[in-house]
Amino acid sequence: MCRTVVLCGSLGAPSAMWEAQLPALAGRETLCVDHPGHGGAPVFEVHDVGDLARHVLAAAGDRSFAFVGLSLGGAVGMRLALDAPDRVERLVLACTAMRFGDPAQWLERAATVRAQGLGAIVDAVLARWFTPGFEGVDVHRERFLNTDPEGYARCCEALSQFDVRDRLGSITAPTLAIAATEDPSTPPGVVESVAHGIPGARFEVIGDAAHLVNVERPDAFNRLLEEHL
Protein backbone atom coordinates (compact mmCIF):
# COMPACT_ATOMS: atom_id res chain seq x y z
CA MET A 1 0.00 0.00 0.00
CA CYS A 2 1.23 3.51 -0.83
CA ARG A 3 1.58 5.25 2.52
CA THR A 4 1.78 8.82 1.18
CA VAL A 5 -0.56 10.21 -1.47
CA VAL A 6 -0.10 13.62 -3.09
CA LEU A 7 -3.14 15.26 -4.71
CA CYS A 8 -2.78 18.05 -7.27
CA GLY A 9 -5.73 19.56 -9.08
CA SER A 10 -6.99 21.55 -12.01
CA LEU A 11 -6.06 25.03 -13.09
CA GLY A 12 -8.32 27.39 -11.15
CA ALA A 13 -9.35 24.84 -8.51
CA PRO A 14 -7.88 24.87 -4.99
CA SER A 15 -6.98 21.70 -3.13
CA ALA A 16 -10.47 21.75 -1.56
CA MET A 17 -11.58 20.10 -4.81
CA TRP A 18 -10.28 16.84 -3.30
CA GLU A 19 -12.47 16.92 -0.18
CA ALA A 20 -14.60 13.99 -1.37
CA GLN A 21 -11.47 11.85 -1.85
CA LEU A 22 -10.05 12.29 1.66
CA PRO A 23 -12.31 9.71 3.34
CA ALA A 24 -11.27 7.13 0.74
CA LEU A 25 -7.61 7.82 1.57
CA ALA A 26 -8.02 7.52 5.34
CA GLY A 27 -5.11 5.61 6.84
CA ARG A 28 -2.64 7.15 4.43
CA GLU A 29 -0.69 10.36 4.76
CA THR A 30 -2.39 12.71 2.33
CA LEU A 31 -0.79 15.89 1.01
CA CYS A 32 -2.79 18.33 -1.12
CA VAL A 33 -0.59 20.70 -3.11
CA ASP A 34 -2.01 23.94 -4.49
CA HIS A 35 -0.77 25.63 -7.63
CA PRO A 36 0.60 29.17 -7.14
CA GLY A 37 -2.13 31.61 -6.19
CA HIS A 38 -4.67 28.82 -5.70
CA GLY A 39 -6.34 28.25 -2.34
CA GLY A 40 -4.38 31.07 -0.74
CA ALA A 41 -1.00 29.62 -1.77
CA PRO A 42 1.68 32.22 -2.57
CA VAL A 43 2.40 33.18 -6.15
CA PHE A 44 5.90 32.15 -7.23
CA GLU A 45 7.85 32.28 -10.45
CA VAL A 46 6.72 29.65 -12.96
CA HIS A 47 8.45 29.09 -16.27
CA ASP A 48 7.01 25.67 -17.13
CA VAL A 49 5.22 22.66 -15.67
CA GLY A 50 8.59 21.42 -14.44
CA ASP A 51 8.59 24.28 -11.92
CA LEU A 52 5.22 23.09 -10.61
CA ALA A 53 6.59 19.55 -10.35
CA ARG A 54 9.58 20.77 -8.34
CA HIS A 55 7.16 22.60 -6.06
CA VAL A 56 5.47 19.26 -5.35
CA LEU A 57 8.79 17.57 -4.63
CA ALA A 58 9.69 20.30 -2.17
CA ALA A 59 6.32 19.98 -0.43
CA ALA A 60 6.75 16.20 -0.12
CA GLY A 61 10.19 16.46 1.47
CA ASP A 62 12.25 13.31 1.07
CA ARG A 63 9.27 10.95 0.86
CA SER A 64 8.26 8.84 -2.10
CA PHE A 65 4.54 8.94 -2.85
CA ALA A 66 1.63 8.00 -5.02
CA PHE A 67 0.54 10.97 -7.10
CA VAL A 68 -3.01 11.81 -8.15
CA GLY A 69 -3.34 14.66 -10.63
CA LEU A 70 -6.26 16.07 -12.59
CA SER A 71 -5.90 18.28 -15.68
CA LEU A 72 -2.94 20.60 -14.94
CA GLY A 73 -2.26 18.33 -11.96
CA GLY A 74 -2.01 15.43 -14.39
CA ALA A 75 0.58 17.33 -16.41
CA VAL A 76 2.52 17.85 -13.17
CA GLY A 77 2.26 14.12 -12.50
CA MET A 78 3.70 13.23 -15.89
CA ARG A 79 6.64 15.56 -15.34
CA LEU A 80 7.23 14.09 -11.88
CA ALA A 81 7.19 10.54 -13.25
CA LEU A 82 9.66 11.56 -15.97
CA ASP A 83 11.94 13.84 -13.94
CA ALA A 84 11.92 12.08 -10.55
CA PRO A 85 10.90 8.46 -11.21
CA ASP A 86 12.41 7.27 -7.92
CA ARG A 87 9.92 9.42 -6.01
CA VAL A 88 6.67 8.36 -7.74
CA GLU A 89 5.39 4.97 -6.59
CA ARG A 90 2.08 5.04 -8.45
CA LEU A 91 0.41 7.53 -10.76
CA VAL A 92 -3.23 8.50 -11.35
CA LEU A 93 -3.84 10.84 -14.28
CA ALA A 94 -7.38 12.19 -14.59
CA CYS A 95 -8.85 14.33 -17.37
CA THR A 96 -5.46 15.37 -18.67
CA ALA A 97 -3.43 15.42 -21.87
CA MET A 98 0.04 15.06 -23.34
CA ARG A 99 -0.40 18.54 -24.84
CA PHE A 100 -3.20 20.98 -24.13
CA GLY A 101 -4.10 22.31 -27.56
CA ASP A 102 -2.80 25.45 -29.25
CA PRO A 103 -0.27 27.30 -27.07
CA ALA A 104 -1.69 30.62 -28.28
CA GLN A 105 -5.01 30.00 -26.54
CA TRP A 106 -3.27 29.75 -23.16
CA LEU A 107 -1.28 32.91 -23.72
CA GLU A 108 -4.47 34.69 -24.73
CA ARG A 109 -6.24 33.45 -21.61
CA ALA A 110 -3.35 34.63 -19.42
CA ALA A 111 -3.58 38.07 -21.00
CA THR A 112 -7.36 38.19 -20.51
CA VAL A 113 -7.14 37.26 -16.84
CA ARG A 114 -4.41 39.81 -16.17
CA ALA A 115 -6.43 42.54 -17.87
CA GLN A 116 -9.99 41.69 -16.82
CA GLY A 117 -9.77 39.28 -13.89
CA LEU A 118 -11.13 35.77 -13.49
CA GLY A 119 -14.72 36.98 -13.70
CA ALA A 120 -14.22 37.34 -17.45
CA ILE A 121 -13.84 33.58 -17.93
CA VAL A 122 -15.61 31.98 -14.96
CA ASP A 123 -18.81 31.01 -16.79
CA ALA A 124 -16.91 29.36 -19.64
CA VAL A 125 -14.71 27.44 -17.21
CA LEU A 126 -17.58 26.17 -15.08
CA ALA A 127 -19.43 25.00 -18.19
CA ARG A 128 -16.46 22.73 -18.90
CA TRP A 129 -15.98 21.60 -15.31
CA PHE A 130 -19.50 20.25 -14.72
CA THR A 131 -22.47 18.80 -16.57
CA PRO A 132 -25.65 20.94 -16.60
CA GLY A 133 -27.31 18.80 -13.93
CA PHE A 134 -24.61 19.24 -11.29
CA GLU A 135 -26.02 21.11 -8.29
CA GLY A 136 -22.85 22.18 -6.48
CA VAL A 137 -21.60 24.81 -8.93
CA ASP A 138 -21.83 27.86 -6.67
CA VAL A 139 -19.15 26.79 -4.20
CA HIS A 140 -16.74 26.05 -7.04
CA ARG A 141 -17.51 29.38 -8.68
CA GLU A 142 -16.54 31.15 -5.44
CA ARG A 143 -13.35 29.13 -5.11
CA PHE A 144 -12.40 29.85 -8.70
CA LEU A 145 -12.95 33.59 -8.27
CA ASN A 146 -10.80 33.55 -5.12
CA THR A 147 -7.81 32.35 -7.14
CA ASP A 148 -5.07 34.93 -7.61
CA PRO A 149 -5.24 36.14 -11.25
CA GLU A 150 -1.45 36.37 -11.59
CA GLY A 151 -0.98 32.84 -10.26
CA TYR A 152 -3.62 31.60 -12.70
CA ALA A 153 -2.00 33.45 -15.60
CA ARG A 154 1.42 31.97 -14.83
CA CYS A 155 -0.05 28.49 -14.84
CA CYS A 156 -1.66 29.22 -18.22
CA GLU A 157 1.76 30.16 -19.57
CA ALA A 158 3.24 26.94 -18.20
CA LEU A 159 0.51 24.91 -19.90
CA SER A 160 1.21 26.65 -23.21
CA GLN A 161 4.65 25.01 -23.26
CA PHE A 162 3.67 21.56 -22.00
CA ASP A 163 4.23 18.74 -24.49
CA VAL A 164 5.37 15.24 -23.49
CA ARG A 165 4.13 13.37 -26.57
CA ASP A 166 7.59 11.99 -27.30
CA ARG A 167 8.46 11.14 -23.68
CA LEU A 168 5.56 9.17 -22.22
CA GLY A 169 7.14 5.82 -23.06
CA SER A 170 9.79 6.51 -20.43
CA ILE A 171 7.29 6.56 -17.54
CA THR A 172 7.75 3.49 -15.36
CA ALA A 173 5.31 4.16 -12.50
CA PRO A 174 2.19 1.96 -12.55
CA THR A 175 -0.39 4.31 -14.05
CA LEU A 176 -4.16 4.64 -14.08
CA ALA A 177 -5.68 7.14 -16.53
CA ILE A 178 -9.27 8.26 -15.92
CA ALA A 179 -11.52 10.07 -18.38
CA ALA A 180 -15.07 11.44 -18.14
CA THR A 181 -17.64 10.93 -20.87
CA GLU A 182 -18.86 14.54 -20.90
CA ASP A 183 -15.51 16.29 -20.55
CA PRO A 184 -15.10 18.86 -23.36
CA SER A 185 -11.59 19.89 -22.28
CA THR A 186 -9.90 16.47 -22.34
CA PRO A 187 -12.37 14.04 -23.95
CA PRO A 188 -11.95 10.29 -23.41
CA GLY A 189 -9.96 9.87 -26.61
CA VAL A 190 -7.38 12.39 -25.43
CA VAL A 191 -6.94 10.66 -22.07
CA GLU A 192 -6.86 7.26 -23.75
CA SER A 193 -3.93 8.43 -25.88
CA VAL A 194 -2.09 9.26 -22.66
CA ALA A 195 -2.73 5.74 -21.37
CA HIS A 196 -1.58 4.21 -24.65
CA GLY A 197 1.66 6.16 -24.45
CA ILE A 198 2.60 4.86 -20.99
CA PRO A 199 3.72 1.22 -20.85
CA GLY A 200 1.20 -0.94 -19.01
CA ALA A 201 -1.15 1.94 -18.11
CA ARG A 202 -4.79 1.17 -17.32
CA PHE A 203 -7.53 3.31 -18.86
CA GLU A 204 -11.00 3.84 -17.36
CA VAL A 205 -13.96 6.06 -18.28
CA ILE A 206 -16.51 7.45 -15.81
CA GLY A 207 -19.93 8.36 -17.16
CA ASP A 208 -22.19 11.33 -16.46
CA ALA A 209 -19.41 13.71 -15.53
CA ALA A 210 -17.39 16.53 -17.09
CA HIS A 211 -13.87 17.81 -16.40
CA LEU A 212 -13.86 17.74 -12.58
CA VAL A 213 -14.86 14.08 -12.55
CA ASN A 214 -13.63 13.52 -8.99
CA VAL A 215 -16.09 16.17 -7.77
CA GLU A 216 -19.06 15.18 -9.89
CA ARG A 217 -18.71 11.40 -9.53
CA PRO A 218 -16.72 10.83 -6.33
CA ASP A 219 -18.16 7.36 -5.83
CA ALA A 220 -16.83 6.00 -9.11
CA PHE A 221 -13.60 7.98 -8.90
CA ASN A 222 -12.83 6.82 -5.36
CA ARG A 223 -13.45 3.19 -6.27
CA LEU A 224 -10.85 3.38 -9.07
CA LEU A 225 -8.49 5.32 -6.80
CA GLU A 226 -8.62 2.73 -4.03
CA GLU A 227 -8.14 -0.13 -6.50
CA HIS A 228 -5.06 1.44 -8.01
CA LEU A 229 -3.43 2.55 -4.75
**Model confidence over 194-208: pLDDT tens digits?**
999 999 999 999 999
Residue 12 gets the label, from left (phi > 0), alpha (psi -120 to 50) or beta, of left
C-alpha 128/C-alpha 134 separation (Å) is 12
C-alpha 80/C-alpha 86 separation (Å) is 9
| pLDDT score for 1 | 66
| pLDDT score for 115 | 98
Q: What is the pTM of this model?
A: 0.98
Q: What is the 3-state secondary structure (H, E, C) of 142-170?
A: HHHHCCCHHHHHHHHHHHHHCECCCCHHH
Question: Which regions of the chain are under pLDDT 50?
Answer: none
| pLDDT score for 2 | 76
179 beta partners: 205
Distances (CA, A) of 30 to 18, 78, 117: 11, 19, 32
Nearest CA among 47, 45, 55 for reference residue 76: 55
